[in-house]
Chain A
Amino acid sequence: MTVATMVTLATLVGSGLWLLLDEDRPRTVLGAGLLGHGAVLLVTLQGRAGDAPLADVGTTTSRADAVPQALALTAIVIGLAMAAYLLALLRASEDAVSGPDGDAPTPAGPTAAPAPPRTDDPSGRPRDGGATPTPTEVRR
């Protein structure tokens, strides 16, 4: 393990943990991702380095150990799925928090009827366009 990889590993894990502790939820997702990548890097670094582990490249002894690469690949796939899921979850969770009971009180009337599901509205703005944006929307 060279110094460069060790520094990379420490940076990934360290900044991952730092971001995880952040109050801002999107940053925690980023933190979880970095931490995961740190773990994947450590897995990749195990085992022998060498030629590409293909049948017609190098000799049995000169080829790199393929097992950690297989493990890392699996972990990356799972990590990507988790990150995507987590982002979708955060979006939904913000909607739930700023939804009917988390909103600032709106005047009774047609707009006070159950809010239209915002998840299928890519702009993230209320459809009627008349209401003032909630604090969450301002932040976005």
Chain B
Amino acid sequence: MTDLLLPLLVAGPAVGAGLTLLVPRRRTAVGTATALVVLAAAAGLLVTTAGGGRVVLLVGGLQAPLGIALVGDTVAGIAATVSAAVLLAVQVALRGTPADRWVGTRPTVLVLTTGVMLAFVTADLFTLFVAFEIVLLASYGLLTRDADRGGIRAAPTYVLSNLVASSVFLLAVAGVYGATGHVGFAPVAEAWPTVDPTLRTVIVTALGLVFATKAALLPLGVWLPAAYAALPPVLGAAAAALLTKVGVVALIRLVTVLDPDPLATDVLLVVAVVTMIGGVVVALGERSLHRVLSAHVISQVGFMVVGVALVDVVGLAATMLYLAHHVLVKGALLLVAAGVVARTGTLALRELRGLQRSAPLLAGLFLLGAAALAGLPPTSGFVAKVALLRASIGADAWLAVAGMGSASVLTLVSMVKVHTALLGDGHDARASSRATGGTAATDGARAERGATVAAAGLLATAVGVSVFAGPLHDAALRGAATALDTPGLITEVLS
């Protein structure tokens, strides 16, 4: 019975997208209801798998090497739950924003979610490829919808780099099929030890490059800041919270299923450290709120991948904790940015002076999110970073420890810089933009309210993560053990 949660997770948003198009007048209600269903399914998966173990569904009842297997474990459960929470928040926050004037925005976000959820629960390389394409096509749509926002100009780089990654992915899939005769994780893992070591290295490297591009690891993540900055902040919240996480989860599948040799994971660790520091350095140079936040996504992915590169139970569990924290907090911060845009019409840090006084609630939410992003105790960021640090120390990965230390300090500096910009006695830019009155003003007020509520909800969930850090970490530990237990996957799927 619980295995039906998997198709619900994937097909739910797809059906929701269709319904939203059928009844465009009710798209807020339909979109929000769909998000609730997806959230319930994801939470159900998390609860079912929290004790360790997997939920396996063979699509169409076809036996394993022939059919497509969907596998839900705690890794998928945690990732899906926080993603669904962001989906819900975005559906709430979209109300009244300029982005919501296009009928297609909500369906496109839902289609994006379909791809993301499919990528989380698939146990098949080719289905993963298809999931990536769904995610990409939906994100292209969102990115290029508002031509005057510069999205069109950012798009070709983004599309081309992802298109090349897709082709390399397909080449690697061909290699895997040629070497093992399968594309499903379980049968591939079973045949993997008999494959020629050189071919194995080539395939793992190709897949690693692809997933690193999707996860926006430096230097392959150069597409990210321009692309995210071109999105309206509400949609930026969806993109920042969901897109790169698909790459991270794919990397987790890669290291657990294809058992890369230690050299490969060492390279991954170095890349992760470079990414976490490089991302913050980029962020420090940015001058507008959502660009700063987008650049921090890169840095945060670096943190997550450290845990993946350690390839042990403690490291993977820390990654999952970090992923949960990051998706919630990053989503919340970008929704705060959406609220700021609705209020003031700008995101340039220079023009946001005085926000602390004129919009204390938004500024307060930002402060809370910024503290979590920097990892100050007792926020969820602190919990996640401590878990990651303990894992790195336990694995003698001192480079990662040093990298995390410096990246955290720089993150704090960056967040202080942004917050300082909100202080002081600026004129309230909103006063001028709202004074024009009319429907634009009510829409703005509605959008600001929606964004505030959504951001507060996500931050409350993030607080929940830090309050229930103990049980969550235990669940993540059991989930990581399950994810690393490839022989278990083989028996469960193939028998």
Contact = CB atoms under 8 A, between A and B. Distances in A.
B196 to A, nearest CB: 15
Given A32-B163, A86-B163, A92-B144, A68 B177 contact: yes
Contacts of B168: 39
B164 A46 contact: no
Contact of B160 (A32, A40, A81): A32
Interface residues of B, number: 30
Contacts of A49: none
Nearest to B163: A32
B152 A86 contact: no
B183 interface: yes
B130 interface: yes
Contact of B130 (A47, A74, A96): A74
Given A47-B177, A89-B140, A92-B144, A75 B170 contact: yes
Contact of B155 (A38, A74, A82, A93): A93
Nearest to A28: B160
Contact of B156 (A16, A78, A93): A93
B181 A47 contact: yes
A25 B156 CA distance: 9
B148 to A, nearest CB: 8
B402 interface: no
A8 to B, nearest CB: 14
Contacts of B185: none
A39 B147 contact: no
Contacts of A46: 174, 177-178
A10 interface: no
Contacts of A39: 167-168, 170-171, 174
Contacts of B152: 89, 92-93, 95-96
Which secondary structure dominates chain B's binding surface?
Answer: helix
Name the prevailing secondary structure of the A interface residues.
Answer: helix
A52 interface: no
Size bracket of the A interface: 20 to 34
Contacts, number: 90
A45 interface: yes
Given A36-B166, A43-B170, A71 B160 contact: no
A104 to B, nearest CB: 18
B160 A93 contact: no
A47 B171 CA distance: 14
B144 A89 contact: yes
Contacts of B148: 96
Interface in A1-44: 16, 20, 25, 28, 32, 35-36, 38-40, 42-43
Given A39-B167, A78-B130, A97 B174 contact: no
Interface string B116-148: 000000000010011001000100100010011
A68 to B, nearest CB: 6
Contacts of A38: 167, 171
A86 B159 CA distance: 8
A67 interface: yes
Interface of A: 16, 20, 25, 28, 32, 35-36, 38-40, 42-43, 45-47, 67-68, 71, 74-75, 78, 81-82, 85-86, 89-90, 92-93, 95-97
17 contacts: A16-B167, A28-B160, A32-B164, A38-B171, A39-B167, A42-B175, A47-B177, A71-B177, A75-B129, A78-B133, A82-B163, A89-B156, A90-B156, A92-B147, A93-B152, A95-B152, A96-B148
